[in-house]
């Protein structure tokens, strides 16, 4: 069955520290992969996407993610976290065409000053 797992429900980091959010997927075909961020009371904003090509993708707000096919992973990273990065982060996998997405349960990030 197709699924997305985000193993960490909550993560707390200090401002300026590095960040890695984990995402593992189960998908039969070559997937499209996405990371979205949701600030409180808001909808989801696209951080970055992987469709094909270079497995290290750059996104907005200084985020990057690396697609590792052998590990079925698409982990999100940021070298130095800012207080404004506190939000909930969702990993998603989708198919070509209709782009129907399957979402992980989300990781809530807290940032200490």
Partner 1 sequence: DVKVTQSSRYLVKRTGEKVFLECVQDMDHENMFWYRQDPGLGLRLIYFSYDVKMKEKGDIPEGYSVSREKKERFSLILESASTNQTSMYLCASSLRSQPQHFGDGTRLSIL
The binding site for partner 1 (CB under 8 A) comprises 4, 9, 32, 34, 36, 41-46, 49, 90, 92, 96-101, 103-106
| Shorter beta-carbon distance to partner 1: residue 28 or 113 | 28
Q: Which residues of 50-60 are buried (b: 16+ CB within 10 A; e: fewer)?
A: beeeeeebebe
38 Cα distance to chain centroid: 11
| Shorter beta-carbon distance to partner 1: residue 68 or 96 | 96
Residue 91 near residue 76, CB atoms below 8 Å: yes
Q: How far is the CB of 64 from partner 1 (least distance, A)?
A: 17
| Shorter beta-carbon distance to partner 1: residue 38 or 72 | 38
CB count in 10 Å sphere of residue 24: 18
């Amino acid at each position: 069955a197709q699924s997305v797992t985000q193993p960490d429900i909550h993560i707390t980091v200090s401002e300026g520290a590095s960040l890695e959010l984990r995402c593992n997927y189960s998908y039969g075909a070559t997937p499209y992969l996405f990371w979205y961020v949701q600030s409180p009371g808001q909808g989801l904003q696209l951080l970055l996407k992987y469709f094909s090509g270079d497995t290290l993708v750059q996104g907005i707000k200084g985020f990057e993610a690396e697609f590792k096919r052998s590990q079925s992973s698409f982990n999100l990273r940021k070298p130095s976290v800012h207080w404004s990065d506190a939000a909930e982060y969702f990993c998603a996998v989708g198919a070509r065409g209709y782009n129907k997405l399957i979402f992980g349960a989300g990781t809530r990030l807290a940032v200490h000053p």
